[in-house]
Structure 1
Amino acid sequence: MKMKWLPIAAAVTAALASQAAFAVDFHGYMRSGVGVSDNGDMQTDVSKQKVGRLGNENDTYGEVQLGQEVYNKNNQTFYVDSMVAMTANQKTGWESTNGDSAQFVVAQFNAQAKGMFGGNETLWAGKRYYQRHDIHISDFYYWNVSGPGAGVENIEMGPGKASFAWVRSDEGGVNTNILDARYAGIPLWTDASLELGVDYALANDTGEQKTAINTSTGAQAGGSSDGAMLTAELTQSMLGGFNKTVAQYFTDSYSTNAVYYGAGGWTSQNGDGGNGFRLINWGVLPVGDKVEFGHQIVYGQSDNVVIEKNKVKYKDSDADTFSIVVRPMYKWNDVMKTIAEVGYYKDNETLNGVKTSTDGAKYTLAQAWSAGSSFWARPEIRVFASYVQQDDTFRPSTTGGLKQDDAWNFGVQAEAWW
């Protein structure tokens, strides 16, 4: 009986040996640390998308990505990519998924084929981080439809490259298919380029959802709505850094993405029939040899939309948001730097003709050591102090009464990507 397994074992050994010539690509990201605030906890309740992430994160988060080219012949290649991601609340040394905050997900698992049509385009299918656009200093993804899908990208077409994808997203509570089309690398003037894109969220209701009763009106809901998101991004290289200006327009089920810092990966199915727009300017620029700074400015507005508060839906509502974050950095030498970050935001909502406003701010000072002097050099270890402010947000004081309006945070954090 044992002899029957010898040919199989030999075949497996030969297969494994044949793969030895192919290098496994190992990539990843992590952040973790320890912190405390003046009211007994690590407070980070002011949204980092609005006021910046430095000294404003209290989680352990990591991504481990493994990929390998499994075929390469006649200028045609096949690549298999995978990623496992995790997050935890950073409060104990052993956090599990059983009652604790730890979560593990398969973030990516896909296959990519290049050269199938005689060019440099990539045919792909599976679960994937798809051409994400984000602002690092605030962890704000403003164009991101990642998920299970398929597509063809980087098709050489005229002066730029076209990409087309079909991605599935049910985050709005409805089976939604997102159709994504982009045209990138359009040359403009010196060191400037333009990318254009359209995303269409196509709702695919079940029979029960189509005939459901709208609790607000007592009438048949008539199914969920589709939505469109249009994006134009201008990139200008300057001074050894870059600046990006982004304009986005949203309709129907996408309309509240404009004010809730959405990226096109989710839709609102509250019967939204309005529209919205968002303007973004961000970048990283050097000032001489010793200083670099990153910044973001965001303004978004949604009109004639449905906003849900405390399980009550307010029709024909308006909302807008404004955010500004600045992160200057001074380089002492190749591995040591001092970083400051200041952020402020203000949100407005008009419900039943009544306007309400909320604002918040964060001020952070950090001393950091990193593997190089660049703004992007990682790994980086930071010692920081942050002051965060937002009305009636933090824990009640020890004397009772209203919640605190502000808090001090102190901590040490490590961040790395590779």
Structure 2
Amino acid sequence: MRKLSLLAAALCAAASFTTGASVASAAEGAFTPTFDFHGYFRSGVGVSKDGAEASWSKTYLGRLGNEDDTYGELEFGSTVYKLNDVSFYLDAMVSMVTDGSNDDENTNGTDASTGNGDANFGLRQFNLQIKGLIPGQKDAVVWAGKRYYQRGDIHVIDTKYINISGAGAGVEYLKMGPGALSLAWIRADSQNVDYRYDDGYDEDSYYAEQNAAKSTTNINFLDARYAGSYWNGGWLEFISTVAIPQDPDTVTEGGPNGPNGSAVDVSPSAVYDNGTSFMGTIVLSQDMFGGYNKTVVQYANNGLAHNMVDMGGGWYDSWNDADSASGFRIMNTGEIPVTDDFRFTHALTYGYASDIGATVDDEDLISAVARVTYQTTQYSRIMAELGAFSQTVNYTNGTDWEVAGQKYTLALAFAPDKEILSRPELRIYASYITSDGDTDVSNSLGQAVYDNNFNFGVQAEAWW
């Protein structure tokens, strides 16, 4: 019920925007508050040869015909005050995710297959944005609260290459020279750290005996960005992100100081101190041939280095010994209209990281995804997507772990426009997913479905 109340609270807050705003603007008597409603969803039904639809490594193989969930976001916003160049904007968003297996998917813990509630609700954004407050900077925004912060997205593989989001504060779009500067302080903790993957449980500690105590590493992110268009059709962005961890002295379980009411110091055995970590990002985009091309180059160290080989966008690793880790990643994506009816998009990734665990020497990842679309009528189109990846982990004891996979998808889709990202879209698809190496394709419940699988399904996706 508590999670459901988040949705109710957000809806009530959104509804109150107009009421509250009328008071704020009454003195001016000239401004009518706006109301914005945005959202995203994907949902559908599918089947594989083993029953439940298989979804595996979509950030490596591509997402078309490789998703098995229902996910949605509802966002409500309002400009509650505006006078000349100064405006106050309130923003709220809730999200939900479920496996889509039942009609009544609630939060009561009725899903016997997982022991948890069918649906998970989350408060994703709740913030205030003040535009034009800084003299001489009418486009600059001062903000505070919880928000998605300038995320970088590659949609075809459902990957955010930069995603420093959470509760925070900052100022963005300060005009300086040919570009604009953005500065932010954001909190995004490593939560519920209950296992050190490199070492296992310490059987003599309270932490291991209880098997329920959790530790949280407080992570403060300091993020600086400078971006601008320096030539016709081009865009260049520089991002510097520093993660500063602060380990708590105690963890709590069952009460404010543990089940027996006393402070329990278990954080040294629960989390690794990977120290202050850095991630640098350069993004180069260029319009070309009626489409675009984007290249992303990144470097990261310590607790952020793993992002270079797991398609992460900036989360901090407190589970593995990575205080001397480093890595880099190069990504390229784009969309090209070959003809008026034929379009091509792709996503290429190469990542490398070393010392991201006590037993890991180095790890590399290569991934390639391509999607072609042919418009058959005004609203219908045929799509084909091919994806492949290979990942290798070399361990300090001389052994290695390798995995590779391929995906082949054919789909008939219906959308209001020719662009590949035109939405809403309804698609009927068939996918074949196969793996090689030391792992098997699994469905969302983690059940093995051998080393190949065939999906057939219908899915809708939209944003507005």
With normalisation by structure 2, the TM-score equals 0.79
| Deviation (angstroms), 1:33 | 0.6
Question: Of 32, 36, 40, which residue of structure 2 is paired with 1:29?
Answer: 40
Distance 1:134 1:197 in 2: 15
Distance 1:378 1:403 in 2: 32
| Deviation (angstroms), 1:394 | 4.2
Are 2:192 and 1:181 aligned?
A: no
Farther-moved stretch of structure 1 (375-384 vs 402-411): 402-411
Note if contact 2:248-2:267 (Cα within 8 Å) is conserved in structure 1.
no
| Deviation (angstroms), 1:127 | 0.5
| Deviation (angstroms), 1:186 | 4.5
Note if contact 1:247-1:277 (Cα within 8 Å) is conserved in structure 2.
yes
Note if contact 1:31-1:60 (Cα within 8 Å) is conserved in structure 2.
yes
TM-superposition CA deviations, 1:281-329 (whole Å, max 9, x none) = 01111101111111000010001221xxxxxx51x52111110000110
Are 2:321 and 1:271 aligned?
A: yes
Q: Indicate the SS of the match to 2:313.
A: coil
Note if contact 1:70-1:79 (Cα within 8 Å) is conserved in structure 2.
yes
Counterpart position of 1:343: 387
Counterpart position of 2:334: 283
Question: Of 53, 58, 70, which residue of structure 2 is paired with 1:48?
Answer: 58
Distance 1:222 1:35 in 2: 41
Question: Of 95, 115, 137, which residue of structure 1 is paired with 2:132?
Answer: 115
Q: Indicate the SS of the match to 2:381.
A: strand
C-alpha spacing 1:101/1:354, structure 2 compared with 1 (3 Å) = same
Distance 1:153 1:54 in 2: 34
Counterpart position of 2:418: 373
C-alpha spacing 1:75/1:384, structure 2 compared with 1 (3 Å) = same
Note if contact 2:171-2:184 (Cα within 8 Å) is conserved in structure 1.
yes
Note if contact 1:247-1:279 (Cα within 8 Å) is conserved in structure 2.
yes
Note if contact 1:146-1:265 (Cα within 8 Å) is conserved in structure 2.
no
Are 2:122 and 1:105 aligned?
A: yes
Are 2:301 and 1:240 aligned?
A: no
Distance 2:330 2:454 in 1: 31
Counterpart position of 1:128: 147
- Of Structure 1 and Structure 2, which has the larger fraction of its residues in strand? 1
TM-superposition CA deviations, 1:163-210 (whole Å, max 9, x none) = 00000011364100000000001514x42221001000001122359x
C-alpha spacing 1:263/1:12, structure 2 compared with 1 (3 Å) = closer
Are 2:459 and 1:413 aligned?
A: yes
TM-superposition CA deviations, 1:105-161 (whole Å, max 9, x none) = 111100000111121100000000110001101101110101111100000001000
Distance 2:51 2:107 in 1: 25
Counterpart position of 1:201: 243
C-alpha spacing 1:186/1:378, structure 2 compared with 1 (3 Å) = closer
| Deviation (angstroms), 1:213 | 8.5
TM-superposition CA deviations, 1:320-359 (whole Å, max 9, x none) = 1110000110011221100111100111001122122101
Counterpart position of 1:393: 440
Note if contact 2:70-2:97 (Cα within 8 Å) is conserved in structure 1.
yes
| Deviation (angstroms), 1:222 | 8.6
Q: Indicate the SS of the match to 1:225.
A: coil
Note if contact 2:274-2:302 (Cα within 8 Å) is conserved in structure 1.
no
Note if contact 2:148-2:165 (Cα within 8 Å) is conserved in structure 1.
yes
**Residue identity opposite 1:184 in structure 2:** A
Distance 2:120 2:242 in 1: 30
| Deviation (angstroms), 1:374 | 1.8
Note if contact 2:272-2:319 (Cα within 8 Å) is conserved in structure 1.
no
C-alpha spacing 1:37/1:13, structure 2 compared with 1 (3 Å) = closer
Are 2:104 and 1:94 aligned?
A: yes
With normalisation by structure 1, the TM-score equals 0.88
| Deviation (angstroms), 1:371 | 1.5
C-alpha spacing 1:156/1:334, structure 2 compared with 1 (3 Å) = same
Counterpart position of 1:168: 187
| Deviation (angstroms), 1:270 | 2.3
Note if contact 2:24-2:80 (Cα within 8 Å) is conserved in structure 1.
no
Q: Mark the runs of 5 or more structure 2 residues left unpaired by the alignment.
A: 1-18, 110-116, 192-215, 252-264
Distance 2:20 2:345 in 1: 52
Counterpart position of 1:404: 450
C-alpha spacing 1:321/1:222, structure 2 compared with 1 (3 Å) = closer
Note if contact 1:212-1:222 (Cα within 8 Å) is conserved in structure 2.
no
Distance 1:167 1:350 in 2: 34
| Deviation (angstroms), 1:377 | 1.3
Are 2:74 and 1:64 aligned?
A: yes
Counterpart position of 1:6: none
Distance 2:390 2:108 in 1: 38
Distance 1:262 1:13 in 2: 39
Note if contact 1:205-1:224 (Cα within 8 Å) is conserved in structure 2.
no
**Residue identity opposite 1:97 in structure 2:** T
C-alpha spacing 1:260/1:113, structure 2 compared with 1 (3 Å) = same
Q: Indicate the SS of the match to 1:254.
A: helix
Are 2:373 and 1:329 aligned?
A: yes
Distance 1:213 1:163 in 2: 34
C-alpha spacing 1:194/1:281, structure 2 compared with 1 (3 Å) = same
Percent identical pairs in the alignment equals 41
Counterpart position of 2:162: 143
**Residue identity opposite 1:250 in structure 2:** A
